[in-house]
Amino acid sequence: MKRKSLLVIGLVVVLLLSTAAFSNSLNLATNALKGKNIGFVQLTLGTTYHAAMSDRFDELAKEYGANFTQVVSSNRSAAEQLALAEDLIAKGVDILILNPVGDEIVPSVADLCAQKNVPLFCVDNTSPGQGYVYVGIDNFAIARAIGRFVADFMGGEANMVYVRSTATDTGCPALRFGGIMGGISDQGEIKGYDIIDERYAVVDVGESEGMLQMEELLAANPEIDVVIAHHDAQALGALTAIRNSGRTDVKLIVGFDGELRMLEEIKAAENGKNGPALATGLNSPTMIAEICMQQINETLQGIAVRDCYYIPVVGISYDNVDEYMSYGF
């Protein structure tokens, strides 16, 4: 089994890998957000990731002197998110931020915003498109980096299980799965790397749900080499289930986001010396919020902004985890 580090793949946009580049540079002398009403339709608050993003948006709104209203879908429903967005627009928000259930809802919300001349910013759980500014991660690129690591680490074959976020095969889930399999293929033959089973989240994408998903996968599959999780929270839940089971067949768990606890577990595992090795892809919710608010401020000043802002693509494993501890949340 080869064991290589998961390296920085490259910067997708010209940004320094430092949240200080954003959080410490709010130019309030050119603040166009003061007194403005910002509406945020958030996907969920059931994970550390989404809570950290919401908290940072709220902090930044206070710094800018803006009014911030957040609403959250109770059941990850596209219809409910659309109704929530429509309600915020009717109440007169100046800016709408959307973390969508999936790609399918975005055109409808973009149409609503266009009718009322409300700029729309989409974050995280979608991809670039028409009628809005996207701020988030290049899900395919970071997943591809993780896929390459899986292939390098396993060295030729693996029974893999997939701890999914939802049952949908569009948007972020599709990009991450496609990227992982593409990254494995980059390193040689895809043959031998099989998704033998999967479970998707029923309630939310938090740690407890990940543990339940993994318990079912362990019960159904006597030999598992690799666990692919859609979020670090689910990966951490899967790790707990594996520890509780006493199973020693699982060699590697990979996730996405860069939660502090995940980074700590990556370090503690020492690349497989102490239980399964772990790896993740940086998807900083605070960095997303900071970039988004800066671009909103520029939009309100009449400054032309791009339609897509990616945060840097960075894979984190045992060999480089110390460099990224400060980005944990």
CB atoms within 10 A of CB 237: 24
pLDDT tens-place string over residues 123-169: 998 889 999 999 999 999 999 999 999 999 999 899 999 999 877 66
Residue 8 within any structural domain of the chain = no
Residue 326 within any structural domain of the chain = no
Same domain? 171 vs 76: no
pLDDT of the residue at 46: 81
Locate all alpha helices (DSSP H) within the chain, ordered by sequence.
20-23, 48-64, 78-90, 106-115, 139-154, 171-186, 207-220, 232-245, 260-269, 285-300, 321-324
pLDDT of the residue at 13: 35
pLDDT of the residue at 232: 95
pLDDT of the residue at 51: 93
Same domain? 115 vs 148: no
Same domain? 149 vs 181: yes
Number of domains in the chain: 2
Residue 296 within any structural domain of the chain = yes
Residue 320 within any structural domain of the chain = no
Residue 259 within any structural domain of the chain = yes
Same domain? 251 vs 298: no
Residue 207 within any structural domain of the chain = yes
On the CB side of 325, CA atoms within 13 Å amount to 10
pLDDT of the residue at 275: 96
* R_g of the chain, CA atoms, integer Å: 20
pLDDT of the residue at 26: 57
Residue 212 within any structural domain of the chain = yes
pLDDT of the residue at 3: 43
The list of the chain residues with pLDDT below 50 reads 1-24
Same domain? 111 vs 167: no
Q: What is the CATH number of the domain that holds 23?
A: 3.40.50.2300
pLDDT of the residue at 169: 67
293: containing domain: 18-136+285-311
Residue 229 within any structural domain of the chain = yes
Kindly state the tokens that stand for 48: 């550390």
Does this model's pTM top 0.95? My answer is no
